[in-house]
């Protein structure tokens, strides 16, 4: 789907019939499908078209458990899998945002150079109309994720060819400092198995639309 069409569909959540004062759009899909890039593009373009309070970006990746907690839990080798996220904290943030408090809400993100979550990288102002949030497991029927979905008005599934996703994921790991062999081993042993979990949610009843997004109009 083209970016302009997706922008129109997203903005209908706040301006269309039955639109809310603040709506939450969720983007699910496997690792490497382009969810975070699309979310940022949508937010930037909606702000350009409708003003600075039109939209704000809220990534699930800010709720990665720290490396210290992963080590404590024995989950370092499964980083990025469902149990390595604070899903309850994420659901609580979405609830807070949907309630539209009259003050700024600070939002964490994941820093790939540090390989750690960082606090307060993003902010959602009180006048923001649309929150765009994205994460692998938003459509999955797994413990904790249904609580997060309660605060998502519409959920989209962003897909991409498996070979393209694999290429992007290897590039991501190389950029993070892994060797070629280490990057490919991580992707095959961790990212692609995680993708299989996500792919099982593609046809979930919670998903409003499924599409490929190339980043080009």
Question: In terms of Cα–Cα distance, which of 97, 108, 163, 161 is closest to 135?
Answer: 108
Q: 114-148 pLDDT, tens per residue? A: 999 999 999 999 999 999 999 999 999 998 999 99
Report the 3 state secondary structure along the chain: CCHHHHHHHHHHHHHCCCCCCCEEEEEECCCCCCHHHHHHHHHHHHHHHHCCCCEEEEEHHHHECCHHHHHHHCCHHHCCCHHHECHHHHHHHHHHHHCCCCCCEEEEEEECCCCEEEEEEEEECCCCCEEEEECCCCCCCCCCHHHHHCCCCEEEEEECCHHHHHHHHHHHHHHCCCCHHHHHHHHHHHHHHHHHHHHCCCCCCCEEEEEECCCCC
How many residues are listed for the chain in this entry? 217
Instruction: Provide the whole-model pTM.
Output: 0.96
pLDDT(214) > 80: no
The C-alpha atoms of residue 8 and residue 156 are separated, in whole angstroms, by 14
Tell me the pLDDT band of 217, cut-offs 50, 70 and 90: low
For residue 19, give every residue at least 6 positions away whose Cβ sits within 8 Å of its Cβ, in sequence order, or none.
Answer: 12, 13
Identify the pLDDT of residue 98.
Answer: 92
Identify the pLDDT of residue 15.
Answer: 86
Identify the pLDDT of residue 21.
Answer: 74
Distances (CA, A) of 89 to 24, 36, 108, 148: 16, 19, 11, 9
Tell the CATH superfamily of the 3-212 domain.
Answer: P-loop containing nucleotide triphosphate hydrolases (3.40.50.300)
| Token pair for 146 | 């249904």
Name the one residue in this structure whose structure tokens are 């008005």: 153
Tell me the pLDDT band of 185, cut-offs 50, 70 and 90: very high
Sketch the domain layout of the chain as residue ranges: 3-212
Tell me the pLDDT band of 27, cut-offs 50, 70 and 90: very high
Q: What is the mean pLDDT of residues 163-170?
A: 96
Q: What is the mean pLDDT of residues 93-100?
A: 94
Identify the pLDDT of residue 16.
Answer: 67
The C-alpha atoms of residue 15 and residue 2 are separated, in whole angstroms, by 20
Q: What share of the chain has pLDDT > 70, as a percent? A: 97
Identify the pLDDT of residue 1.
Answer: 87
Beta 116-124 vs 105-111: how paired, if at all?
A: antiparallel
């Amino acid at each position: 789907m083209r970016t302009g069409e997706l922008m129109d569909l997203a903005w209908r959540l706040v301006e269309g019939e039955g639109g809310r004062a603040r709506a939450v759009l969720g983007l699910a899909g496997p690792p490497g499908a382009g969810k975070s890039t699309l979310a940022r593009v949508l937010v930037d373009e909606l702000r350009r078209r409708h003003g600075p309070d039109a939209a704000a970006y809220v990534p699930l990746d800010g709720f990665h458990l720290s490396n210290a907690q992963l080590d404590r839990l024995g989950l370092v080798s499964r980083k990025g899998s469902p149990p390595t996220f604070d899903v309850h904290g994420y659901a609580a943030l979405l609830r807070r945002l949907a309630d539209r408090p009259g003050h700024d809400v600070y939002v964490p993100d994941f820093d790939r150079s540090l390989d750690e979550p960082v606090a307060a990288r993003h902010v959602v102002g009180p006048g923001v109309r649309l929150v765009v949030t994205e994460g692998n497991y938003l459509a999955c029927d797994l413990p904790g994720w249904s609580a997060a979905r309660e605060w998502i008005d519409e959920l989209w599934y962003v897909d991409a060819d498996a070979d393209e996703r694999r290429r992007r994921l290897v590039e991501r790991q190389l950029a993070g400092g892994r060797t070629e062999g280490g990057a490919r081993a991580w992707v095959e042993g961790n990212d692609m198995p995680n993708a299989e979990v996500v792919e099982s949610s593609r046809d979930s009843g919670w998903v409003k639309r499924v599409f490929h997004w190339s980043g080009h109009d």
